[in-house]
Amino acid sequence: MKSLTIRHRILVSFAAVLVVMSVIAVIAYAWFLQTQQEATEVEKGILPDLSHSTEIMIGQMTAHSLLQEYALEDNPSDKRTLESAIASNRDQVQRRMDDYEAKIVSDVDKQNYAAVKELANQFRQTETAVLDASRAALSKGETPNERTAIKNTVEPVFLKLQSALQAMVEDHRGEANSATQRIGSIVRTAEVGLSAGLLIALGLALLLGYLLFRAITGPLTRLVDAVQLMRQGDFSDRIDLRRRDEFSVLADGFNAMADDLTTLIGQVQRSGIQVSTSITGIAATSKQQQATATEIAATTTEIRATAKEISATSNELVRTMNEVSTVAEQTAVVAGGGQAGLARMEETMHQVMEAAAAINSKLAILSEKAGSINQVVTTITKVADQTNLLSLNASIEAEKAGQYGRGFAVVATEIRRLADQTAVSTYDIEQMVKDIQSAVAAGVMGMDKFSEQVRRGMQEIQQVGGQLFEIIQQVQGLVPRFEVANEGMQAQATGAGQISDTLTQLSEAAQQTVESLQQSALAIDELNQVSGGLRGSISRFKLRA
């Protein structure tokens, strides 16, 4: 029975009930046909025969009554009227007898009718004889004595005829009663059979309904209990119905769904732990980036201070070169004034040498600062690359987090953009520093050469006083060189100003990076709270081991 499906059980139950009802209907139909046959026989055979026989008997009794009334009547006119009534009644009785005779089927009825017909003919003959005798007496003027004739001849025949008619009517009435009893017996048998069949069908329907009810409510209750446990978070229960029907398929589907949900929840729990670990790593990375950004800001501040110092040194070099140019011009004028200006020239040359030494020292300092700037730029480039890499890792972790990491993904994208801007700015600074180093190297070479020439001039002034004209020409030839050096110093000052502006932008970018990292820290805290809520929601589920 357990191998049948619910559909088959329902079909079998309805089929069984339908079979029982069909058997009852067939039996009831057979009884109905039998009853109908009996009723048809009564309607078309027995009742018409009983009706005709009764009408014949009534007609014969009417004829006897009319004949007695005729005998009692003395008025000839009334007698003729009664003769007409007697004749009319005789015709009616004859028609009824002819109709009855035409419908007789059974031999018993034929025998009974033959006896009635013979007696009816005798009655008609005696009746005719009485009427003929009465008319003959009246035609002779005599008083007829019908009463004696009726008593002697008609009454015996009428009594026999009445007895035969009564026997024929009683026979038909007995047949009608027998048919009625048979119909009643069939009806009672049908009532008992139908009642028994209906009780059997009802009992079978109740039994099959109870079995079907148990087959449905049992596994359904088991499924409802399992669903209730699952609603409470217990995914460890499984359904084993040990049957092969729709509920077995439903139980297998429920077990498969529970297994899938168990696997899914387990994955979610593991993912929650992984998300928490990733968030912790991201938080540590964010703090490290914040510290790095703070260090970048401090380094930028130092670089900006160094750049300002370089700018001040460059401005001082410009002023010094202007002074050197002025001294050279004065030297030329003094040299043109005569030999007496040699002493002042010598002194001036000493000043020039000192100025050149100062310029060399300043240029050395500038070269050292430029090297420092180059190192700082290299550090910034590495930090920017690390920041870009960290922001890329943060974007990947945010993608893994799904919709909970969207806000952090936006922050990571902003950090990567700022890191790219920082890399571009450091590249510009590096180029500027290289230009500064080139200019400083050229200035150092020029100043070294200038110092050497000044030293040779000093020696020549001491050795050859007479070659003053050549010295003046050499001094005048130095003026354009001082102008070139002056222009180089001005370009250096301009580059230092650009470096300062660039470092200001870098400082602002570093500040924005710090603010972005603070927003990232807030987003990470929110993501950590969401992760904690997710772990708390999932922890209530009880999974199957």
HSE, side-chain direction, 13 A CA sphere, residue 471: 29
Is residue 543 within 8 A of residue 262, CB to CB? The reply is yes
394-422 tens-digit pLDDT? 778 777 777 766 776 777 788 778 777 87
DSSP 213-272: HHHHHHHHHHHHHHHHHHHTTB----------SHHHHHHHHHHHHHHHHHHHHHHHHHHH
**Domain ranges within the chain, ordered by starting residue:** 6-225, 279-528
SS3 155: helix
pLDDT of 335 above 60: no
Query: What residues form DSSP beta bridges with 234?
Result: 542
Residue count of the chain, please give it: 545
Give the integer Cα–Cα distance in Å for 408 and 520: 6
The pLDDT value recorded for residue 389 is 80
- Residue 480 and residue 312 in contact, taking contact as beta carbons nearer than 8 Å: no
For the structural domain made of 279-528, what CATH number should be given? 1.10.287.950
| Segment 236-243 mean pLDDT | 70
Residues 262 and 528: their CA atoms lie apart, in Å, by 24
pLDDT at 88 (0 to 100): 92
**Nearest CA among 428, 419, 310, 407 for reference residue 367:** 310
Question: Which of 75-89, 135-149, 262-276 shows the highest mean pLDDT?
Answer: 75-89
Token pair recorded at residue 257: 């769904």
State the pTM of this model: 0.35
Tokens of 523: 């987003």
- Per-residue pLDDT at 413: 81
Per-residue model confidence (pLDDT) at position 277: 80
pLDDT over 80 (residue 503): no
Look at the domain 6-225 and name its fold: Four Helix Bundle (Hemerythrin (Met), subunit A) (1.20.120)
- Residues 15-72 have pLDDT tens digits of 887 888 888 888 888 877 877 777 777 666 677 777 777 888 888 889 888 888 877 7
Spatial contact of 333 and 483, defined as CB atoms under 8 Å apart = no
Residue 518 confidence (pLDDT) above 60: yes
Looking at residue 341, its pLDDT comes to: 66
Lookup: tokens for 92 = 């009616």
> Alpha helix (H) ranges present in 338-405?
341-401
Please state, in angstroms and rounded to a whole number, the distance separating the CA atoms of residues 40 and 36: 6
Bridge partner list, 542: 234
Count Cβ atoms below 10 Å from residue 393 Cβ, excluding itself: 15
> How much is the mean pLDDT over the chain?
75
Q: Are 202 and 189 in contact (CB under 8 A)?
A: no
Hey, what amino acid is at 499? I
C-alpha pair distances (Å), 26 with each of 12, 37, 39, 184, 194: 20, 16, 19, 19, 11
Q: At what angle do helices 341-401 and 406-463 cross, to 10 degrees?
A: 170
Distance, CA of 152 to CA of 191 (rounded, Å): 58
Separation CA 262–CA 267 (nearest Å):
8
Q: Which of the 8 DSSP states describes residue 338?
A: -
- pLDDT of 254: 66
* pLDDT attached to residue 299: 74
Predicted confidence (pLDDT) at residue 123 exceeds the cutoff of 60 = yes
Proportion of the chain above pLDDT 70, given as a percent: 70
**Lookup result for tokens 């001849």:** 153
Whether 360 has a pLDDT exceeding 60, the answer reads yes
pLDDT digit string, tens, across residues 434-483? 887 787 677 668 767 767 776 777 777 667 667 666 766 775 666 676 56
pLDDT band per the 50, 70, 90 thresholds, residue 310: low
Distant-in-sequence contacts of 158-161, Cβ < 8 A, 24+ apart: 158/60, 158/64, 158/123, 160/119, 160/122, 161/60, 161/116, 161/119, 161/120, 161/122, 161/123
**Cα separation of 10 and 225, whole Å?**
25
* Percentage of the chain exceeding pLDDT 90: 1
- Write the pLDDT tens digit of every residue in 198-222: 898 888 888 878 877 777 787 778 7
**Per-residue b/e over 210-243, b at no fewer than 16 CB within 10 Å?**
eebeebbeebeebbeebeeebeeebbebebebeb
State the Cα–Cα distance between residues 63 and 73, nearest whole angstrom: 15
Segment 155-172, tens digit of pLDDT: 888 888 888 888 888 887
Assess whether pLDDT exceeds 70 at residue 321. no
- How far, in Å, are 323, 324, 381, 457 from residue 476 at the CA level? 15, 12, 48, 13
Indicate if the pLDDT at residue 86 is higher than 80. Answer: yes
**pLDDT value at position 288?**
76
d(C-alpha 462, C-alpha 443), whole Å: 28
- Report whether pLDDT(146) > 60: yes
